[in-house]
Amino acid sequence: MDGTGMMEKKKIGYSPDLERGMYFDKRTYQDNALEDFETLREKLPQPVLPGKAEWTACYDYAVAVLFSNRHVPTPQSGFVSNFVDAAFNEDIFLWDTCFMTLFCNLFHPHIPGIRSLDNFYCKQFEDGEIPREIVRDTGKDFLLWVNTSDMPLYSYFHSHYGHRRLREMEALPYESLYKPQMGRTIENNPYLTLDNLNHPILAFADWESYCHTGDVDRLEHVLEPLSRYYSAMKYHLRHVSGLYVTDWASMDNSPRNLRMGLALDTSSEMALFARNLLDIMRVLERERGLHPGERAGELEGDFRELVDRINADMWDEETGFYHDLTFDGECVKVKTIAAFWTLLAGIAGGDRAERLFGWLKDTGTFNRRHRVPVLAADEPGYDPEGGYWKGSVWAPTNAMVVLGLERCGEDDLAKEIALNHIDMVAKVFMRTGTIWENYPADSVSSGNADHRDFVGWSGIGPIMFLLRYGIGLHPDLKTDRLVWTLDEEMLRTGSVGCRNYWFKGKTADLTADLKDERLSIRVSALQAFDLEVRFRDSVRVYHVDKSLEVEW
């Protein structure tokens, strides 16, 4: 493989017996026994928020369902770690699992969250490809997503959308399948189909995990497989324009798919991928003395090129929005949540970012009763009952929006959207007794969703959002502090805090109360750490050494 990520020409036809996982140094199963949930319960984070009993009830339920979705791999699967299941069907899914790690980090090391990704790294092909979907019990590839005929890149799903019927469908002639117009010669055919090569957010998941756990060892283990995966995506999915392709599997039945050729989300995710890899390399250079060499230059160049290309070609000044393109470069003027990947990836800035913030506040499009629908409410085909990707609210895309807003310094808007999501998920939980795969944006209901107990990535709201925005806790990488942002309105309904809050190998109990307009804080921990408290317009920093009691 040369410095541009291109592979030497060779025959790479698929075979189920190919050697895989050669870049990941964990080759055989190794993990701790899964502890009983009831035994673990007292060790897990326990939010203190008596004024929001619906939220904490939903949290408790989400955690119980999550722990029921833990698995020890079967011997025949070839998986190397215990894992949490995506809760969709009998398979494990890459981008579902990546988003699940965002809240599983809070339970590390008691739940195999980030370790679940080991079972994708160990299935990596020699050219760097990693499958999006793998059969859970056997460890085999989902066959429809495999390029068994050794043909140029194609998608099964795009022309033969099956939704819940995929397992009943059979292989079809290559002539009837969707083939993206790449505009360049790609000499080596992929092992996998385009259905299986989308949402390249593995590095995002491992970087976010590091930010919470501080686990440098893991970064060292995943750098090489991530670098190879990046090169494979660049080689197989990069259009001659420098932008990237995807298929319907990115947003199943979204109206964008009828004309889209060049994908705004995948292109932005590849920019994010490059940036995350650079972040990982900088940590390893500082902590382990590992020099990135030519890789860093390639990634920096790729990132700058994608930022320039997306801003030049995918921004539409008339609509004030980023859009997908046809293969001819025509703007596909459908407003979808894909545009907000540009915030997280560091692509949108200045006036363009401000206009995106405005769309998130606009009640006619994305600021609905339950925020944020994946399709703007004023678009043809928008389904007020959700309609899957025709207007539903999805936890992973909400996480992307909220974290993107944070990156842009829009903390208040991020919190507003996150708290709205928690509140709506909790209200529907109280009415239906479960957590759903997706939600309608215009009502307090499950709409036409059909997947219950979806924890699964829907745990993002009742777990991650609750602790990060309801309680207000998150570790800050730059300052190496635990940041606690206290909400005055929450405090007026009772105590706010968390017992057994875990971060970077430390565990702390934190409680705050507001009495007679004075803020009282109590903290206890076995390990010392610095705590940054934000309340009203003040910021104070304390060193916690076993215990802390202060009043403002």
Percent of the chain with pLDDT over 90: 90
> What are the counts of helices (DSSP H) followed by strands (DSSP E) for the chain?
13, 17
In terms of DSSP H, where are the helices of 45-181?
A: 53-68, 94-104, 118-121
- Is 0.85 surpassed by the pTM of this model? yes
Q: How many residues does the chain have?
A: 552
Q: For 511-525, what is the mean pLDDT?
A: 96
What gap in Å lies between CA 405 and CA 414, rounded to an integer? Answer: 6
Residue 5: the pLDDT is 47
Is 173 strand, coil or helix?
A: coil
User: Cβ distance 344 to 265 under 8 Å?
Assistant: no
In terms of DSSP H, where are the helices of 433-532?
A: 488-491
Segment 444-503, tens digit of pLDDT = 999 999 999 999 999 999 999 999 999 999 999 999 999 999 999 999 999 999 999 999
Is 498 strand, coil or helix?
A: strand
**pLDDT > 80? residue 162:** no
Residue 10: the pLDDT is 59
- Please provide the DSSP assignment of 298-356 as one string: HHHHHHHHHHHHHHHHTEETTTTEE-EE-TT--EE---BGGGGHHHHTT---HHHHHHH
**pLDDT > 50? residue 296:** yes
Q: For 33-51, what is the mean pLDDT?
A: 95
- Please provide the DSSP assignment of 373-431 as one string: BSB-TTSTT--TT-TGGGT-B-HHHHHHHHHHHHHTT-HHHHHHHHHHHHHHHHHHHHH
User: Cβ distance 510 to 473 under 8 Å?
Assistant: yes
CB-neighbour burial class of residue 88 (10 A; exposed 0-12, middle 13-18, buried 19+): middle
CA 426 to chain centre: 21
Sequence-separated (6 or more) residues with CB below 8 Å from residue 283: 210, 216, 219
What gap in Å lies between CA 475 and CA 214, rounded to an integer? Answer: 10
Q: Give the burial string for 162-180 (b: 16+ CB within 10 Å, else e).
A: eeeebeeeeeeeeeebbeb
**pLDDT > 80? residue 249:** no
What gap in Å lies between CA 460 and CA 421, rounded to an integer? Answer: 10
**pLDDT > 90? residue 3:** no
Supply 391's token pair. Answer: 């207007």
CA-closest candidate to residue 538, choices 503, 467, 488: 488
Segment 417-441, tens digit of pLDDT = 999 999 999 999 999 999 999 999 9
**pLDDT > 60? residue 226:** yes
User: Cβ distance 141 to 135 under 8 Å?
Assistant: yes
Cis peptide before 320 (omega within 30 of 0): no
Residue 25: the pLDDT is 96
Residue 2: the pLDDT is 42
Q: For 119-125, what is the mean pLDDT?
A: 98
* Helices 216-237, 294-313: inter-axial angle, 10-degree rounding: 50
Rounded CA Rg of the chain: 23
Is 467 strand, coil or helix?
A: helix
Instruction: For strands 518-525 and 547-551, give the pairing.
Output: antiparallel
CA 368 to chain centre: 22
Residue 254: the pLDDT is 95
Task: Give the count of beta carbons closer than 10 Å to the beta carbon of residue 452.
Answer: 14
Cis peptide before 372 (omega within 30 of 0): yes
What gap in Å lies between CA 428 and CA 423, rounded to an integer? Answer: 9
